[in-house]
């Protein structure tokens, strides 16, 4: 037996108090001579012996009472029982929060430093033969080692090299990863320790069917789960919440409007906050803003890029707050030199503005046709349908089939391959198209290039009958959102005299069908623009013509921005996204000659990693998966060109409040876990579970029983002598 509060054991010496009182009372009597005393000697002897026994019993009980009180307060622990685990090896999994909120600074360091200290103390306390795994939560759940380790020293050394500042935690994913790891471990004694700042944003989704308790019920050996919160709530924090700019292709010299959202999470206003925009690491613009308590504002930074290629935009807030990690946000933007568009004209004519693609060609290259010294972003080439081949398709980023009757089998095969490998295709209607061919070969019951089959012609016949207009509303597609601002044009003013009914097939009706989306709709309810992904590319289908035969759109002022927005957005979709979420892969499409090449990637913390290009079909890709840390990733290509990726995470953790005591207790009950305040308390409880069992409750029960017994005996003995 041992005691948790050993100094209180000395309180058992209080048993001397009733003993001393008893001894002192024994000496307080007076002898009185009485002549008839000899007649009572036999009775006195009998009663005196009984009286001594009764007093001894009461004395023992009174001495035992303070001893039991002292032992109870000293918290005795029973050791040596066969059921106790002792120094047996343990299977230990530590979930360590490495999200960006763990960079929050308090008077004693960062939250992450406290977490690493706690994890280190727990890992170092494990016995010989224990297997240990650490799962880092930032960005996405990532094990510290590929498999559990038996060398606690190696785990601690690697752990001390880690940093926080990664993306927001996926706690449910981390729990799932931990449970899978524990299930594969071998020791009977199993521990799961979760060390986090326990922010509401990370833990509010945990519970119900997804809780640890539910998962443990299915395990053969369930782990003992412990929660250890670290850090204290911080009062204020200023963040860059978002960077926004139009999601279309931009060329050299074109103005890009960058909008930054800055938020104050504190309860007091922040005045004269300096906000800086950096382009490729260089300061490009500065603004100042005053933020009210618990409020946000938007800042506009217009900028024109003078060089084509990959660029980065950073917004930095100069604020002295507890968390500097979220004071900046970045975005990658690709500036095009030229976007080459192949116009396949199905109705070429000699007269000006009579061919099918004349209006479209002018809309895409207005400076060229207007003989203005400014350069157009788009470069067009117009050909007849019979000239379409694989070599020609490979020279362009976007192909437009404008009122093309049909293609032969070889051309169709080349076109399908072009789109599958990442090309963009726009198909417009007209009076020359072979509807049966489009339905059977290009739509192919939902398995072909087209998102819908061209149906019957709607609208006027011989210039008689109803017309239709585009439904004016909020557009969600990047190619159409430009027109959400009334100053950019009212699409509902355009009139459609004729159009074809687009008849998509339900996705569940065909195993090979792709899901299509409606970009714009006519007031008749008919889709005007449909889009679907096909392989790595995308296809947009237009229900009317791109010239003035069926619609007056080409005669409207908004026709030029509409066509440019449509084509440039389609072209920008050819490039894998450069702005990704933390944990998502950064992917670049390379030239066929780059197959098997070794590339390098510079990560946000300045380290350099290498990666190999891989072939997927006819496409050569470079793929980098370790993007858990928010920031800029720079990939160096064999052509000496550098392309940038930006991984960002939600700003949910920027509110630095943590779960209060009541919420932590509730979470602990939901997870079926133990809640401790520090690693020291965890080790103390672990020591008890492994080496001893507290028995103070038994001493308390004995104390109460003796108190009652002493009262009963005292009353009974008093009546006997009365």
pLDDT greater than 80 at residue 21: no
Answer whether residue 392 shows pLDDT above 90. yes
d(CA 539, CA 668): 51
655 near 265, Cβ under 8 Å? yes
For the four alpha carbons of 666, 672, 678 and 681, in that order, the dihedral sign comes to positive
pLDDT value at position 207? 55
> What is the distance between the alpha carbons of residues 189 and 195, in angstroms, rounded to a whole number?
20
Tokens of 440: 């059977």
pLDDT number for residue 417: 92
Q: What is the pTM of this model?
A: 0.75
pLDDT (tens digit per residue) in 53-92: 877 887 888 888 888 888 788 767 665 554 555 567 889 9
The CA distance from 642 to 206, in Å, is 41
Residue 566: name the closest of 588, 546, 549, 580 by CA.
Answer: 546
Longest alpha-carbon distance in the chain? 160
List helix spans (H) across 217-355. none
Q: Please state, in angstroms and rounded to a whole number, the distance separating the CA atoms of residues 282 and 14.
A: 78
Is the Cα dihedral 357, 427, 417, 378 positive or negative? positive
For residue 258, give the nearest of 221, 298, 224, 229 by alpha carbon. 298
- Convert the pLDDT of each residue in 652-693 to its tens digit: 899 898 999 999 998 888 888 899 999 999 998 887 766 655
pLDDT top residue among 618 and 438: 438
Residue 310 is encoded by which pair of tokens? 């990959």
pLDDT tens profile 418-450: 998 889 999 999 999 999 999 999 998 888 999
How distant, in Å, are the alpha carbons of 70, 314, 592 from that of 618?
A: 82, 35, 8
Mean pLDDT of all residues belonging to the chain: 87
pLDDT digit string, tens, across residues 499-544: 999 988 754 444 445 678 999 999 999 999 999 999 888 999 999 9
Q: Residue 6's pLDDT is what?
A: 67
Residue 506 tokens, joined: 């339900």
What number is the average pLDDT over the span 188-214?
A: 79
Distance (Å, whole) CA 73 – CA 133: 38
Position 508 scores a pLDDT of 43
pLDDT interval class at 158 (50, 70, 90): very high
What is the pLDDT at residue 82? 44
Instruction: Tell me what pLDDT residue 630 has.
Output: 94
Q: What is the DSSP letter of 138?
A: B
So what's the pLDDT on residue 217? 75
Res. 209: pLDDT tops 50: no
Tokens of 2: 């041992």
Percentage of the chain with pLDDT > 90? 55
DSSP state of 166: B
Q: What is the pLDDT of residues 279-312, one digit of tens each?
A: 999 999 999 999 999 999 999 999 999 999 999 9
Cα(first)–Cα(last) distance of the chain, in Å? 45
Give the separation between CA 417 and CA 412, rounded to whole angstroms.
9
315-350 burial, b at 16+ Cβ within 10 Å, e below that, comes to: bbbebebbbbbbbbbbbbbbbbeebebbbbbbbeee
The string of pLDDT tens digits covering residues 321-374 is: 899 999 999 999 999 989 999 999 999 988 888 999 999 999 999 888 876 666
Closest CA relative to residue 256, chosen from 631, 587, 572, 573: 572
The model's pLDDT over 445-492, given as tens digits with 9 standing for 90+, comes to 888 999 999 999 999 988 888 899 999 888 988 889 889 988 889 999
Phi, psi of 388 (to 5 degrees): -70, 125
Is residue 694 pLDDT above 70, yes or no? no
Q: Confidence band (pLDDT; 50, 70, 90) for 26?
A: low
Measure the CA–CA gap between 558 and 566, rounded to whole angstroms: 12
Domains of the chain: 2-81+695-721 (no CATH), 90-233+657-691 (3.40.50.410), 245-254+262-331 (2.60.40.10), 339-572 (3.40.50.880), 580-646 (2.60.40)
What was the pLDDT predicted at 509? 47
Please tell me the predicted confidence (pLDDT) of residue 371: 66
| Average pLDDT of the segment spanning 584-601 | 87
């Amino acid at each position: 037996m041992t005691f948790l509060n050993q100094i209180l054991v000395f309180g058992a010496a209080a048993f001397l108090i009733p003993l001393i009182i008893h001894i002192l009372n024994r000496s307080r009597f007076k002898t009185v001579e009485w002549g008839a005393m000899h007649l009572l000697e036999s009775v006195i002897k009998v009663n005196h012996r009984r009286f001594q026994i009764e007093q001894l019993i009461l004395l023992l009980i009174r001495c035992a009472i303070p001893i039991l009180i002292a032992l109870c307060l000293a918290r005795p622990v029973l050791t040596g029982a066969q059921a106790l685990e002792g120094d047996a090896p343990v299977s230990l999994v530590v979930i360590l929060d490495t999200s960006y909120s763990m960079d929050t600074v308090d008077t004693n360091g960062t939250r992450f430093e406290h977490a690493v200290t706690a994890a280190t103390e727990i890992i170092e306390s494990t016995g010989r033969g224990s297997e240990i795994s650490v799962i880092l939560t930032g960005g996405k759940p990532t094990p510290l080692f590929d498999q559990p380790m038996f060398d606690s020293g190696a785990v601690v050394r690697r752990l001390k090299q880690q940093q926080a500042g990664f993306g927001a935690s996926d706690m449910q994913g981390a729990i799932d990863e931990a449970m899978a790891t524990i299930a594969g471990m071998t020791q009977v004694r199993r521990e799961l320790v979760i060390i986090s700042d326990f922010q509401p944003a990370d833990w509010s989704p945990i519970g119900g069917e997804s809780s640890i308790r539910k998962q443990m019920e299915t395990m053969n050996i369930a782990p003992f789960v412990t929660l250890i919160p670290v850090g204290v709530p911080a009062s204020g924090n200023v963040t860059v919440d978002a960077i926004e700019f139009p999601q279309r292709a931009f060329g050299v010299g074109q103005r890009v409007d960058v909008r930054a959202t800055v938020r104050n999470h504190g309860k007091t206003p922040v005045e004269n906050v300096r906000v800086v925009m950096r382009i490729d690491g260089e300061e490009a613009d500065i603004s100042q803003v005053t933020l009210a308590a618990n409020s946000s504002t938007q800042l506009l930074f217009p900028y024109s890029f003078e060089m084509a290629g990959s660029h980065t935009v950073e917004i930095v807030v100069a604020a002295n707050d507890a968390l500097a990690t979220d004071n900046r946000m970045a975005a990658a933007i690709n500036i095009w030199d030229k976007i080459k568009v192949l116009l396949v004209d199905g109705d070429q004519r000699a007269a000006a503005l009579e061919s099918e693609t004349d209006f479209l060609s002018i809309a895409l290259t207005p400076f060229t046709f207007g003989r203005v010294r400014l350069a157009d972003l788009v470069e067009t080439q117009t050909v007849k349908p019979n000239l379409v081949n694989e070599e020609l398709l490979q020279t362009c980023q976007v192909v437009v089939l404008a009122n093309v009757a049909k293609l032969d089998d070889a051309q169709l095969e080349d076109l399908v391959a072009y789109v599958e490998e990442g090309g963009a295709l726009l198909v417009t209607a007209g009076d020359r198209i072979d509807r049966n061919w489009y339905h059977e070969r290009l739509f192919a019951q939902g398995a072909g290039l087209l998102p819908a089959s061209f149906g019957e012609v709607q609208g006027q016949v011989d210039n008689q009958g109803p017309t239709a207009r585009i439904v004016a509303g909020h557009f969600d597609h990047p190619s159409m959102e430009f027109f959400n601002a009334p100053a950019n044009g009212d699409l509902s003013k355009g009139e459609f005299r004729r159009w074809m009914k687009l008849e998509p097939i339900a996705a569940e009706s065909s195993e090979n069908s792709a899901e299509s989306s409606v970009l714009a709709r006519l007031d008749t309810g008919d889709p005007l623009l449909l889009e679907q992904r096909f392989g790595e590319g995308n296809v947009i289908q237009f229900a009317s013509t791109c010239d003035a035969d069926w619609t007056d759109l080409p005669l409207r002022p908004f026709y030029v921005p509409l066509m440019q927005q449509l084509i440039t957005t389609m072209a920008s979709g050819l490039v894998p996204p450069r702005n990704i979420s933390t944990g998502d892969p950064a992917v670049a499409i390379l030239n066929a000659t780059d197959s098997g090449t070794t590339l390098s990637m510079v990560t946000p913390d300045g380290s350099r990693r290498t990666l190999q290009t891989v072939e997927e079909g006819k496409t050569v890709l470079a793929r980098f998966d370790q993007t858990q840390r928010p920031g800029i990733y720079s990939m160096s290509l064999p052509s000496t060109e550098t392309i940038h990726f930006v991984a960002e995470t939600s700003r949910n953790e920027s509110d630095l409040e943590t779960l209060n005591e009541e919420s932590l207790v509730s979470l602990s009950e939901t997870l079926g876990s133990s809640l401790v305040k520090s690693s020291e308390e965890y080790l103390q409880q672990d020591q008890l579970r492994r080496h001893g069992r507290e028995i103070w409750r038994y001493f308390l029960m004995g104390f109460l029983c003796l108190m009652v017994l002493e009262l009963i005996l005292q009353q009974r003995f008093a009546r006997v002598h009365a």
